Amino acid sequence: MTRETSRPTLAEIDLGSLRFNFRSSRDFIGSGVKYMAVVKADAYGHGAVECSRALEAEGVDWLGVALVEEAVELRDAGCRLPVLCLGGAWEGQEETILKRSITPAIFTLSQAERLHAAAERRGESLAVHIKIDTGMGRVGVRHDRVPEFAERLVKLSRLTVEGLMTHFAAADDLAETDFTQMQTRRFWESVETFRKVGIEPEYLDLANSPAAVAHPATRSNMVRLGGILYGLGGDVLPGSAPRPKLRPVLSLKTRIAQIKSVPEGETLGYSRAFKTKRDSTIATIPIGYADGLCRGLSNVGEVIVRGRRAPIVGRISMDWTIVDVTDVGGAAEGDPVTIIGRDGGEEILAEDVARMTETISYEVTCSIGRRIPRNYKGGP
Ligand SMILES: *Cc1c(COP(=O)(O)O)cnc(C)c1O
């Protein structure tokens, strides 16, 4: 599948593993709830269209995106599943939302009024979900303002409230279970408030991946799963809680562009940040921070060559990274290099890379840039 004419730096996406993770999560969480696959940010860097197709074939009920633009991409690709736009609706996007059958999760009255007006102009009605802020403090109708909001919303006759949702701030941390429970309580109080004005939504959803796995009481009638579908459970699921079996979906690979023998005492790369401590075999690989290989991995990260770990030495630059392959033995130009993934007995997970740069695995895969082609295997 590799295109001979392009740089050999690519991300391999194993759709079979994606489907495995969904089945495994569903077995763990249970079949009594609906499943929303969150495919925002190009499916956390894995490719939204291909992942959505694979997950649709596996039986997910909803897709979740952050932007209306992302929902449009799915519709343009022929996706027919319901799509919830978690990022609301910006002014001017009302027509697109109506025409492309996108369901917005809204959190301000002005969004509601604009959507209502657009629906009226078209002689249509529109299903919306309402995002309630129960303690995340980000977007969402604050839980203590729900009564006014519900009373004004109910007058917008062209809008049907199909869902109420909230989002947890710390479901990944069992030390914060009290806070998660408080958010859950506030959510159900808000649901009650909506019921009092005659709004009885079909979907009542709270749980992201860590909540759905570690806090069964939050599963309600739909869960919104992102990370665990991509096998990124390791650093966002509470360590001690039981969890579904997950497989990594993404591998990041390239090949050695050049090998050099460098004597002891020479410096390598920008700012001369690394000095050889011995006569060394040095490989340069065609990937840099412009591809999403975090510059913070300079002199810290590792890659796998011929089944052995080799350290990244010197500063990662925009397009190139230098690796010390002295201990690999026999490394040659053209050799495959694994940045994320498995080679022989060695494996580097996105969460390993994340730990080295003090972030989470989600950011690692989301950062893999557009210059890197995604090669898919195991599709429907
Ligand atoms: C991103 C997101 C999710 C998915 O979270 P994961 O931890 O990846 O499962 C769920 N709900 C909302 C509102 C989100 O923004």
Instruction: For residue range 19-75, list pLDDT tens digits in order.
Output: 999 999 999 999 999 999 999 999 999 999 999 999 999 999 999 999 999 999 999
- Please indicate whether residue 219, judged by its CB atom, sits closer than 6 Å to ligand 1: no
Output the six-digit token pair for 235.
Answer: 């650093």
- Please indicate whether residue 167, judged by its CB atom, sits closer than 6 Å to ligand 1: yes
pLDDT value of residue 86: 98
Best mutation site among 224, 228, 243 for ligand 1, i.e. most ligand atoms within 8 A of its Cβ?
A: 224
- Please indicate whether residue 234, judged by its CB atom, sits closer than 6 Å to ligand 1: no
Average pLDDT rounded to a whole number, residues 84-103: 98
Q: What is the pLDDT of residues 180-194, one digit of tens each?
A: 999 999 999 999 999
Nearest CA to ligand 1 atom 13: 167
239 has pLDDT over 90: no
SS3 119: helix
- Please indicate whether residue 37, judged by its CB atom, sits closer than 6 Å to ligand 1: no
Give the separation between CA 323 and CA 287, rounded to whole angstroms. 11
Q: Which residue has the tokens 């074939």?
A: 57
The pLDDT mean for the chain works out to 97
pLDDT value of residue 4: 62
Cα separations in angstroms, 222 against 26, 160, 209, 315, 338: 11, 18, 12, 45, 37
Give the separation between CA 197 and CA 148, rounded to whole angstroms. 10
By annotation, the residues acting in catalysis are 40, 270
Phi and psi at residue 374, in whole multiples of 5°?
Answer: -100, 125
Q: With b meaning 16 or more CB within 10 Å and e meaning fewer, what string describes 210-244?
A: bbbbbbeebbbebbbbbbbbbbbbbbbbbeeeebb
158 has pLDDT over 60: yes
1 has pLDDT over 80: no
pLDDT value of residue 241: 85
User: What pLDDT band is residue 96 in, cutting at 50, 70 and 90?
Assistant: very high
pLDDT value of residue 154: 97
Ligand 1 center from residue 154 Cα (angstroms):
27
Give the separation between CA 125 and CA 140, rounded to whole angstroms. 22
6 has pLDDT over 70: yes
Nearest CA to ligand 1 atom 4: 226
CA dihedral angle for residue 9, residue 15, residue 21, residue 23, rounded to 10 degrees: 180
* pTM strictly above 0.75: yes
User: What pLDDT band is residue 156 in, cutting at 50, 70 and 90?
Assistant: very high
Contact 104, 95 (CB under 8 A): no
Helix axes 48-58, 15-29, angle to 10 degrees: 50
pLDDT value of residue 249: 98
